[in-house]
Amino acid sequence: MLESLEPFYKKTQITIISDRPLLFRVMGHHIYMGEALLDAPGHLEKALAKVWYRERNDNSFEQQDLTEEVITDLLVSLEGGDVDIGDPQTHVMTALRKVKWPYVIKSIRGYCESPWKRSEHYGICQNATEGDKEFQSEVVQMSLRPMLTASLVNSYRALSSADRYAFAGQLAQFLRQENLLPGKTETPARNVLEQAAGIIRNVNLFVSNPLALKTSRVHRLFVTNFSNELRKNGYSDAFVEASFDLLFVAHEKVNENGAAFKELLAKSQKNPQMQIALRDKENLWMLPSKYPMAIASFGQIKANKTIIEKCGGYSFSFVMDYADVTEKLLVVDRCASQKKEVRYSEYLENGAEAFAQVNKGVAFVQFHIPSLLMKKQELETVSNVFDFIQKRDVDNPSFKGLGWQEVRWDEKASAYQPKAYVDAIEWFRAPSSTSL
């Protein structure tokens, strides 16, 4: 296929290294490969694509390695319509599927177990550890590969047959064009999200070569498709944040063998379109990945719904601290001494009422944060939410601020549903709640 686009400039030599089965190195027109990678699907094709790519593009820029990786993935896909590269140890193949931002970002362990790791990294991954900061920087970059590759291939597939033919015919010329991309960034990224966003931005700049956009109608269509694909995958250059459907905040260190972790993991595996994350004070798990990343690696984290396990009383100020995180906040009364398992997956799909129905006897409050903020001045002096809503002191100015017209007891849910002009508290069950 590569020869049909444009012949290689020189003949390529291949040396097979028998005593280093996972070796992969491309040096000029010489390919060095271990036997295991040579026998695995796709790695020889990738090596040849890299030789062809480097003949036509010798630009030096910050994301050069990742750009080479995803463009050569696109070249490989032109041959068979897919990117089929196999892991010689697990026999798992790469698959072009929707990978959403920021789930595509991996820890070292998660990256090294993926068939999408760079061929050059198979040997490194044998001894890599989470503490390797230099390799972690490469992992952040290369873990973006499946999302970028899928976006490129889908952008190509979205072209008409005639335009695909024209685009493929222009690839060699496109790679030879000078591309004025930024070198090393002077100001370091504050966190992994910013770092990854900057990487995607640079790859997008490479694809959006001004000269190609000016001279090629087909390339303009391709770039438009690529931008749309990135948006579909949840990436927006304007908002560098991690956003989830559900964020679970544990009151103590997350137990990966615990009931909550296993339940939400199973939910995410069964419903991959749902974005579910768990966090404690130190780490964040973006399910279904079982490998956490340090909370310090992230900047802004947001979720449509957030669950907090909290032991003991808390104030409205504590609740309002989550104003920049979520719209709906479910605070569950949960202490280490409590043995009763709490089921959370119903809450994700059907809300607080469904949560109450399957968790009888568990105290909780569901807050609607935007509504709560409207009553911030009246409520920020309240030091204990449960005491406050149980007493229901109608003469208390803070209680009046809630504007409750009625507090309805729902027999099916065994919980209260207040009725108010402003629904700051939507459902609750206080400790040992019974119908009044």
At residue 53, the pLDDT reads 96
Q: State which H helix or E strand residue 37 sits in.
A: helix 35-39
At residue 243, the pLDDT reads 86
257: left (phi over 0), alpha (psi -120 to 50) or beta: alpha
At residue 165, the pLDDT reads 96
CA distance 106 to 415: 40
CA distance 358 to 350: 11
Considering the chain, what percentage of its residues have pLDDT values greater than 70? 94
Write the pLDDT tens digit of every residue in 286-334: 998 888 988 887 878 899 999 999 988 899 999 999 999 999 999 999 8
256 or 189, greater pLDDT: 256
Write the pLDDT tens digit of every residue in 194-248: 889 889 998 999 999 988 999 999 999 999 999 999 999 888 775 667 889 999 9
**In Å, how far are 21, 43, 87, 105 from 122, measured between CA atoms?**
10, 11, 9, 18
Q: How confident is the model at residue 180 (pLDDT cuts 50, 70, 90)?
A: low
Q: What is the DSSP string of 152-176?
A: HHHHHHTS-HHHHHHHHHHHHHHHH
Q: What mean pLDDT comes out for the span 416-427?
A: 88
Average pLDDT of the chain, as a whole number? 89
Contacts of 111 (CB under 8 A, 6+ apart): 117, 121, 125, 139, 142, 143
Write the pLDDT tens digit of every residue in 29-71: 999 999 999 999 999 999 999 999 999 998 767 778 999 999 9
User: Are the C-beta atoms of 107 and 292 separated by less than 8 Å?
Assistant: yes
User: Are the C-beta atoms of 320 and 369 separated by less than 8 Å?
Assistant: yes
CA distance 391 to 372: 19
